[in-house]
Amino acid sequence: AEEIKTILGWRFDFHRFLISLPENKFIAWSKDIKNLIARGETHAKELEKNIGRFTHLGVLMPFVHHFLSRLRELLDRSKNRRSIKINQDCKDDLDLMLFFLAMAHDGIDLNYIAYLKPSHIYRSDSCPKGLGGYNHHGKAWRFLLPPNLLYRASNNLLEHLASIITPWIDIIDGELGNGDCSLSMTDSSTSEGWTRKTNFKEADFDDPEEAAVRREVARVHAKHFLSLGIKEYSQWFPGRYNIVSDALSRDDDRNDDELTQILKSCAPSQVPENLEIRPLPSEIVSWLTSLLQRLPVKEQLREKHKRTRLGRGTDGLNGVDPLESAMMSFSTSSAEANETSYSEPSPWLCVKDDFRDRMSTPWLRAQSEIPFHLWHRPSENTTGRILLGTKMASSADFYRASSELSKMTTRTQSNRKRSQLECSVKSPSAKRLRPNEQSANSL
């Protein structure tokens, strides 16, 4: 049997377990993109053709979708015009598409497009004065913003920065690489969405400078993960279960050793066995500082700093065992689903008491939930699960049951063509009266 086949426009190498963009497509698509950038202008049909190609590319690399919104907006503006100028943001996106094309041409591991169990779990958090995070091995970090960088970025952007810095540390240390699967967990739904969202519109952001920084962050993150062949998932979970990351970002009045001991005593279920707070690598500090310096200070972001209450009295002790709480749920369910008990975890989660599995429990439960469409029901039914199938009924029965009886009767018309003999016999003079008509006339 052949080990290399072309299927649906992709080249499958079953010997090396790779999927790649064929040579002819790579050459033609790269040439068209370079011509677009060089000319600096385009028209609707050309943009539509290239966006279709990029969407095809996004099947293999989901990161592509992050950078199509500006090109789609350009397409909308180009309609009913002979040509339109390509702005610098769109040129940067097109240039990034060349990087994606080169990666697709070299080949992507088939496991990258498969559904994988995360091998590395990360949690992060931020506040206006700092960022922090840790992984399931116990490697933690925190970065307290110096006074000259305060109140420049919104907390949503800081949360997003923290979520990509945490795995970046492992990349620098060589502990996250080809074939690994990363799960970034955050208590910010915005940050979680920005990791995988595909419908950004720059007009939706009031601050164009922050939008530009966010684009830069997304480009750096995409290049890191794609060039190393790392698969990524993201997951939101409630902030009250993110005690460790919250303390790393907020408690600026404690040194590393003191904070480590407090976390182990106040939130033992969330703390890895070998928790160690390390300084942020200089490479990331330099990059983060340069990004924040591009943003102006915003007085509306200024607020009073709040530290955690951990170890600051009895009120600071958390009485809930966040990771091991049996009844904890992280998603919205239907009325009947709320009655489901999680007191006994699935057997495949109980094979080994592994801290990584316990950290990823919210994500694992989210993947195993009943899909929403199974609970979607007609408006009249409010309880119970819908049937998996319904009995087929005839169209006549459907309309007979769905409409009221009409007082007017309609005569059924025959499509059969009548002969000349039938027409001569059924003349108006020969019309016979019905029995009820005859009795009526006799009266």
Q: Which residue has the tokens 């002969």?
A: 419
- pTM, two decimals, is 0.73
Angle at 240 between CA 266 and CA 275, to 5 degrees: 45
Determine the distance from the C-alpha atom of residue 441 to the mean position of all C-alpha atoms in its chain, rounded to a whole number: 79
Q: Which residue has the tokens 């979708």?
A: 65
Tokens encoding 374 = 């199974």
Tell me what pLDDT residue 96 has.
94
- Whole-Å CA distances, 185 to 66, 134, 331, 359, 362: 19, 10, 14, 9, 9
Q: pLDDT per residue over 110-165, tens digit each?
A: 988 888 889 999 999 999 999 999 999 999 999 999 999 999 999 999 999 999 99
Question: For the purposes of burial, counting CB atoms within 10 Å of the CB of 376, is it exposed (0-12), middle (13-18) or buried (19 or more)?
Answer: exposed
272 and 137 in contact (C-beta within 8 Å)? yes
Determine the distance from the C-alpha atom of residue 179 to the mean position of all C-alpha atoms in its chain, rounded to a whole number: 21
Q: pLDDT per residue over 240-299, tens digit each?
A: 889 999 999 999 999 999 999 999 999 998 999 899 999 999 999 999 999 999 999 999
Tokens encoding 338 = 């709320």
309 and 266 in contact (C-beta within 8 Å)? no
Instruction: From 314, 137, 320, 95, select the one nearest 223 (Cα to Cα).
Output: 95
